[in-house]
Amino acid sequence: SRMREMAQHTAAAFGAECQFEFARNYPPTINHEAPTAFLRDVLAQVIGRDHVRPQEPTMGAEDFSYMLQVKPGAYFFIGNGDGGHRLVGHGEGPCTLHNPNYDFNDDLIPLGGTLWVRLVESWLAADSKA
């Protein structure tokens, strides 16, 4: 594979050897249709439909994929706001999680909390009508 070749060449450039093994540890995180539609509706109620955007597929690994294999669900990003929450001196624009420059936007805590409460309220209301 190309990754094996790159690892071996990098090691050789430093006078070393490498052993390369690639393990696919996580299945893809794929949302289920009905929970995703439910989530979109609740998001639209909380932040407005214009702010609910589809996420382009990413190659990131996420252990939530194991949960989605057992129960239907939806994985989503809340976002970090204005793009100004990044450690000083480390570029511009928003950072994603698991990035050493990430600086959480504390102003979004009430919004995130409201979203989770509305999801629970809407789920329980829909469940009681079923």
Percent residues over pLDDT 90 in the chain = 53
At position 19, the amino acid (one-letter code) is Q
Dump the DSSP string for 64-93: HHHHHHHS---------SSS--B-TTS-SS
pTM here? 0.71
Is the pLDDT assigned to residue 89 strictly greater than 70?
no
Residue 83 has what pLDDT? 63
Domain segments of the chain as ranges? 31-129
CB 94 within 8 A of CB 86: yes
Can you name the residues that pair with 86 across neighbouring β-strands? 102
Residue 19 has what pLDDT? 93
pLDDT per position as a tens digit, 21-64:
988 778 889 999 999 999 999 999 999 999 999 888 877 767 89
Q: Chain-wide mean pLDDT for the chain?
A: 86
pLDDT per position as a tens digit, 70-84:
999 999 988 776 666
Instruction: Give the mean model confidence (pLDDT) for residues 91-101.
Output: 69
Residue 23 has what pLDDT? 83
